[in-house]
Copies of this chain bind each other. A is one copy, B any other.
């Protein structure tokens, strides 16, 4: 086995020397879970959850999106996103309309109430984010997203 292979062996769950505490994906999962739980604490009093919030944030940034655009960015299954969107529609947070250009696509857009809602969540979560970034320098944060991106790209190649 190559020198590189030997060194990296402990990161393979099938290896004898595997150590879960050194395993990046264990921490990705844990961090994501903790982050989600903290966000939900903030969202709960306003009858929101993290699924809705992710959709709302994407719409705030991109203006209007099709259901599959949202599914792609939020990495969710199509039926899941469809149902979240229609839940949000029932709650008055988004509008859903058939596209003029392509009769198959549903164009989703935040309503005024939806925009208002996003701003409110943003304000209320600010403290949480400041806490999360405590002690980090700008290059360190950049480095983090860069490393995560590389893992993401590696897993993206089919």
Contact = CB atoms under 8 A, between A and B. Distances in A.
Interface of A: 4, 7-8, 11-14, 20-25, 27-38, 54, 57-58, 61, 74-76, 122-123, 125-126, 128-138, 140-145, 147-152, 154-157
A147 B144 contact: yes
Contact of A14 (B4, B7, B58, B125): B125
Contacts of A151: 31, 35, 132, 144
Contacts of A28: 28, 31-32, 35, 148
14 contacts: A8-B136, A13-B122, A14-B122, A14-B126, A20-B57, A22-B142, A29-B54, A34-B156, A35-B155, A132-B151, A134-B154, A135-B150, A136-B150, A147-B147
Report how many copies the assembly holds: 2
Given A8-B141, A12-B130, A138-B7, A35 B25 contact: yes
